[in-house]
């Protein structure tokens, strides 16, 4: 996230990062990637009006839990889009989302709130990524693909045309998805097959 913000600043965007917030007290007062760790999430309540925030937790469920915990406040969520992202004018990117360098998005791509799209992903036409979804580096989605809320796709996952991946499912690294994946499962392999169900 820090690198993404630096790249946005270098492109001329008016961003002034204050630092990180982390509930691990061992990080408090340290400087990471040139930015101070300001304190825990309780720090936010005293600075809501002064800053916008991005929840950069990798795990989708933990990211959702923190956003929900903070949501009753009047907190403003920032959306971070790397200047090297290529996207059509009709793309929609939700608040709190992060879209990293090397990503290409064609027409009618919709990215949900607090969703993370990592380096080098391709999103073809009519893509719908649910809130809190996560695409690891090098994920490739063909057209008319729907990724449910909180779903997580590992490095190098390929998804063919017209597929739906259910909410909170996990697709393992390198998998090729040629059939719909139900909610709350883990699928692995080429072609991807369900190996585990989640509660």
Q: What is the DSSP string of 48-113?
A: TTT-EE----SSHHHHHHHHHHHTTS-PEEP-EE-TT-EE-TT-EE-TT-EE-TT-EE-TT-EE-T
Q: Who wins on pLDDT, 70 or 160?
A: 160
Best-predicted range by mean pLDDT (23-32, 40-49, 134-143): 134-143
Known catalytic residues are: 125
Lowest mean pLDDT among 22-31, 63-72, 100-109: 63-72
Percent of the chain having pLDDT more than 70? 99
Q: Which element (helix H / strand E) includes 13?
A: none
pLDDT given at position 44 = 87
| CATH class belonging to 80-183 | mainly beta
Token couple for 129: 């990524």
pLDDT given at position 155 = 98
Average pLDDT, the chain: 94
Give the confidence band of 70 by pLDDT, cuts at 50, 70, 90.
confident
Decide if pLDDT at 72 tops 70: no
Which sequence spans correspond to the domains of the chain? Answer: 8-77, 80-183
Could you tell me the pTM of the whole model? 0.93
pLDDT given at position 87 = 94
Four-way CATH pick for 8-77: 3.40.140, 1.10.10, 3.40.50, 3.30.70: 3.40.50
Token couple for 141: 């989605």
Q: Do 80-183 and 8-77 fall under one CATH topology? A: no
pLDDT given at position 48 = 78
Q: Which element (helix H / strand E) includes 135?
A: strand 134-135
């Amino acid at each position: 996230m820090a690198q993404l913000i630096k790249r946005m600043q270098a492109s001329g965007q008016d961003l002034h990062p204050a630092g990180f917030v982390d509930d691990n007290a061992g990080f408090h007062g340290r400087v990471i990637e040139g930015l101070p760790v300001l304190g825990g999430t309780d720090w936010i309540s005293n600075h809501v009006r002064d800053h916008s925030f991005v929840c950069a937790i990798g795990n989708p469920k933990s990211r959702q839990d923190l956003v929900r915990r903070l949501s009753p406040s009047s907190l403003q969520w920032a959306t971070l889009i790397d200047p090297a992202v290529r996207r059509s004018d009709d793309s929609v990117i939700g608040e709190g989302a992060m879209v990293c360098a090397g990503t290409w998005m064609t027409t009618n791509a919709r990215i949900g709130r607090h969703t993370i799209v990592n380096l080098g992903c391709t999103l073809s036409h009519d893509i719908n990524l649910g809130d809190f979804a996560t695409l690891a580096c090098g994920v490739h989605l063909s057209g008319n693909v729907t990724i449910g809320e909180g779903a997580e796709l590992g490095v190098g996952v390929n998804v063919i045309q017209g597929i739906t991946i259910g909410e909170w499912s996990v697709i393992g690294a390198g998998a090729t998805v040629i059939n719909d994946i139900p909610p709350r499962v883990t699928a692995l392999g080429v072609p991807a097959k369900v190996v585990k169900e989640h509660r």
